[in-house]
Amino acid sequence: MLSYIIFTGAPTLHPLRHLFMLVCLAALSFPTFAAQPSQPLLVSIRPLAFIVQDLAPDLSVSVLIQGAQSPHHFQAKFSDIRRIKDADLLIWVGPGLETMLEEAIDTLRASDSVLELSTLSGLNYPDVHGHAHGVDPHLWLSTVNAAIIAEAISLKLVALFPHQKAEFETRLTAFLNALDVHKTQQLARLKAYEGRYIGAYHDAYGHYLNDYGIEQRGHATLNPEEALSLKQVRHLQRELDGAQCMLAETGERQSAEKLADMLKLPLVEMDLLAVGMELDPAGEHPFLQYMSRLDDAMLRCLAGE
């Protein structure tokens, strides 16, 4: 079986290392009594599936982390470990995002079948402080990075299905052209909001903001699970004085809403993990449909709605 893993970030140690190794080894040795259906593509999060669907719409792709589960805290079940092992092509962001998957992947996959997206040349990173590994792991939110990721995936698809090389290359060119048009259109829409700035509940939007030149003056937390102190709230009140709104990811609304009320800011949800989208949406360019939803949310935020 030809297998690949695509991920970003540098390895980190985790206290559950030995437990993961035991479970993974069990998955490797557990007997299979019936033939398993082919599972050529497995992605960790839904936005990556949309890039794959843009390049290979007829290829089966499934998502590992479902719904609004936090990729930072997702723990693979036995069935997930089997899927990780059996996939011909596994695409994930890396330990900076899906921290708890690192041990399973290190145990189940050979190093020569791993492609780290963070090592690709040309990736664009915003200036951040405090993120794991010193970088914001939400790489796909930048159109520059989305293009580089698509090119890397296309190369792996060609290696996996060489007889479809021409088709993958044609679809990649169409995707890159559409991505450029999309960015140009959003930049034009944003001109009406020049000089405005926003706040964020979870500091996860740096790649998008950097891509479009939008200013974020403050954020509540790098880890949505952490409670804020009164001192932090007062600091945010000063930082976000005059901000148009506070952004929050889908799944963070309950905590973020309380803070937004305290700061007297409108709260706008930005669905970074595409929880509200179907895996196989109708129409062309699923990834650009996803980005359009983010664009609309950002415009609502800048309008103070």
Domain positions in the chain are: 4-179, 193-302
Closest CA to 267 of 240, 291, 292, 287: 240
Local confidence band at 113 (pLDDT 50, 70, 90 cut-offs): low
* Burial of residue 202, with CB atoms counted within 10 A of its CB: 0-12 exposed, 13-18 middle, 19 or more buried: buried
The lowest-confidence range among 32-46, 108-122, 239-253 is 32-46
Local confidence band at 42 (pLDDT 50, 70, 90 cut-offs): confident
Same fold flag, 4-179 and 193-302: yes
Tell me which CATH code domain 193-302 carries.
Answer: 3.40.50.1980
pTM equals 0.84
Is 92:5 a contact under the CB 8 Å cutoff?
A: yes
The lowest-confidence range among 17-26, 86-95, 163-172, 218-227 is 17-26
Strands of the 215-221 sheet, one edge to the other: 215-221, 197-202, 246-249, 267-270
Give CA–CA dist 54/57, Å, rounded: 6
User: What is the phi/psi pair of residue 221, to 5°?
Assistant: -160, 155
4-179 under CATH 3.40.50.1980, yes or no: yes
Mean pLDDT of the chain: 83
- 7-21, 23-37, 194-208: which has the highest mean pLDDT? 194-208
Local confidence band at 146 (pLDDT 50, 70, 90 cut-offs): very high
Residue 86 backbone zone (phi > 0: left; psi -120 to 50: alpha; other: beta): alpha
The lowest-confidence range among 59-68, 106-115, 262-271 is 106-115
Look at residue 68 in the predicted model and tell me its pLDDT.
79
